[in-house]
Structure 1
Amino acid sequence: MSNKSLLSEHTRSFSTWLKDQVMRELQDPSHSISKRLKSLAGGPNFRASFYSGYVYNGCKFYTKEQDKISTMQNSGVVVEAEAMHFASAKDNRPAYGKMLYYGIIEQIIEMQYNDLIIPIFGCKWVNNNTVVEYEDIGFTLVNFDKLGHEEDPYILVSQAKQVFYMTDPANKKRSAVIKPRSRHIINEYDDDIELEESSSTQVVQLEDVINDHGDNNLLTCA
């Protein structure tokens, strides 16, 4: 089998393999299986909770629909993942490495695995082939008209890092990625205030960089 076929087979059959493996080891008294692993191996039950907003690790995340009726943008996420990357459908020599994936949250779901609750985000992801990195001036442009990874929309909430997207007025199809500065949450009532101050500070810095760079076609900020 080719590497691509092996990867597809792994994705398709892993959950079944894990369940069979755990059940087999449970029959052996010499093996110790944690409750967490047993719950995961059994798979989620038919009960799930859906949310329009979710607070995790000091950040408030929204779905895209919630963003439309909110005064703040909280649906943008980025995740860093290690994966095999194929240049085309005929590529049998994949490259393995870390990549950043930029997305917008469409669903927030709490999956129930017996005694466990696992929160996940269902996202729309930008096609990585359309992402443009300007390393010399320190920002990234994405195009949400060009989507990818539609077969793999879900990530763990714990994997997500929050980002914001600023539309380029010169080209409505492009958006600049704004990464908020890391900050300490003083208490649960200060989340919104600190997040807003952090993102606005980053926008001002981006405007200064663009003005210094002198390229209005690259990105203009209102």
Structure 2
Amino acid sequence: MARCVNLSTLQMFGMKSHDCHVMMQRILPVAFKELLPNNVWKAITDLCLFFKELTSPNIQVDNLRQMQQNIPVILCKLERIFPPSFFDSMEHLSIHLVDEAMIAGPVQYRWMYPFERYLGKLKKTVKNKAKVEGSMTNAYLVEEATAFCSYYFEEHVRTKQRNVPRNFAGSSSSGGMEEHHDTLFVFKNVGRGFGKKSTRFLSKDEYDAAHLYVLNNCSEITEIYTRLFVDEINAKYPNISPNQLQIKLNKEFPDWFKLYVADPNNRVENSDLKSLSLKPFQRVTSFQGFYVNGFKFHTIEYGSKKSTYNSGLCVKGLELDYYGRLVEVVVLEYSGVPTKTITLFKCEWFDPRPSGTLVDRDFKLVSINQRRRYDNYEPFILSTQASQVFYCTYPSKNQSRKDWLAACKVKARPLVEVSTIQNIPIDPTPFQEELVGRTPHTTIDDDTMPIHPDGALVYLVDEDDEEDVDTNEYVLETSDSTNNDSDDSE
């Protein structure tokens, strides 16, 4: 939307329908929070979030029913704010959009944006304005012919059909080694780095924090070995408090795990566990950016020279969500043949407590105090745990709000969240299978004359007549009785 903003005159112009949708769903709730009275801002935000939920690619039926009850209340609130001349058929149309979604499904598969984009693509192919249709037809034929020919090119030739998708993270890899069923999850790296590649040595604090975080976030270790360590500590110190137990876990578990794996009496044969117990090399590789989870992340330094903002990220915790910014992409290397790698994000975290992170109870809008930082030294996360966030300032005349940022989560472009729906029977029969030859599911009484989909009468066969006629077949009577042979019963 940057093309629609004129900073010299402080005006917006040339906005298309999709720009208006982005403006409504993303910008208005943040822009008006400090500029309008609270009752006006809430009414407008309700309407904005209504359309945001309605245009989501994944819609729950229960949410649609709740939206159907909320939209009349939202319009009544707007009627108390805006004059009657503001309301026409377009404002009333929002009441029926929920019914349309319940019948036709998500709007993502019905709206006109893909067709409008394609029409814009066709307009760009016009070279002779006297022959508009001819120019479009010629360009379409050329594109279609070249697309078919490109399938016969050699594999090393890059074509449009072979281009890497946007924000493509690459296939799962484990440092170049072949993956087996016993490969640890942390070694199944997904993602690829970009930008200037460099190497450096981790400091003592960074080294210990990175190794501890990997051990604490490896499910194969926490499910078995962490419990063994905790049981030993509880048996040795029966009255130990949870805080003291956590301190011992952070300080003593890495060395305990190394000795436990090295002891032949414990019979730890997994090579990945042995590599983790020996700790990573202190020399690491770093990148300026990373593709993972359908996102493109920039470090703060690399993104400072860009017009886009891709350094914000969020990690879900057990009780709180942690918001921060990406400082460095670090690749740890572990001993083994071949070398195993783990990609970590080094981040600076904002304070997750209420003094640094506020969540609106009604609209779930997140505000971050950019001057407050997280106290604990836990800078690293696994790259696969990160989701992208962008931060924007509040337009406000209140000086107390100048340090606060609005955190807006971003959805990955190629991914669609699909909820798991249980207890719904699914008919395994494909739609392409012919209806003829299947036992009808319709209940027919004595007074009903069954009709075949082709228009012929159907005579039902009793169980006593199974020797003469197969009960899984229809017996059809057509209008042409002279041709009533085996071809009429399929």
TM-score normalized by structure 1? 0.70
Identity, % of aligned pairs? 29
Q: Secondary structure at the match of 2:256?
A: helix
Instruction: Return the letter of the residue paired with 1:76.
Output: G
Residue 183 in 1 paired to residue 398 in 2? no
Aligned match of 2:247:
8
Residue 79 (1) aligns with residue 300 (2): no
Q: Distance in 2 between matches of 1:150 and 1:124?
A: 11
CA contact (8 A) 1:74 1:162 kept: yes
Q: 1:110 maps to what in 2?
A: 331
Residue 55 of structure 1: aligned partner: 291
Unaligned runs of 5+ in 2: 1-239, 416-490
1:121 aligned to 2:328? no
Q: Secondary structure at the match of 2:402?
A: strand
Q: Distance in 1 between matches of 2:413 and 2:287?
A: 25
Deviation of residue 111 (structure 1)?
A: 0.8
- Give CA deviations for 1:17-67 in whole Å, capped at 9, x if unaligned: 11111111xx14x83532221111110112210111111122111111111
Is 2:133 aligned against 1:133?
A: no
How far apart are the structure 2 equivalents of 1:4 and 1:121? 27
Could you say which structure has the larger radius of gyration?
A: 2
Say whether the 8 Å CA contact 2:357–2:367 is kept in structure 1.
yes
Aligned amino acid, residue 41 of structure 1? S
Is 1:50–1:110's contact at 8 Å kept on the other side of the alignment? yes
- For residue 18 of structure 1, the aligned residue among 247, 253, 257 is 257
Task: Establish whether residue 172 from structure 1 lines up as the match of residue 402 from structure 2.
Answer: yes
- Distance in 2, matches of 1:150 and 1:67, equals 26
Q: Residue 74 of structure 1: CA displacement?
A: 0.9
| Superposition deviation, residue 152 in structure 1 | 1.1
Are the equivalent residues in 1 in contact too, given 2:295–2:412 (CA < 8 A)? no
Tell me how large the CA RMSD over aligned residues is.
1.7
Residue 67 of structure 1: aligned partner: 303
Per the normalisation by structure 2, the TM-score is 0.33
> 1:147 corresponds to which residue?
373
Secondary structure of the 1:66 match is: helix
Residues 123, 148 of structure 1: alpha-carbon distance in 2 compared, 3 angstrom cutoff: same
Aligned length: 167
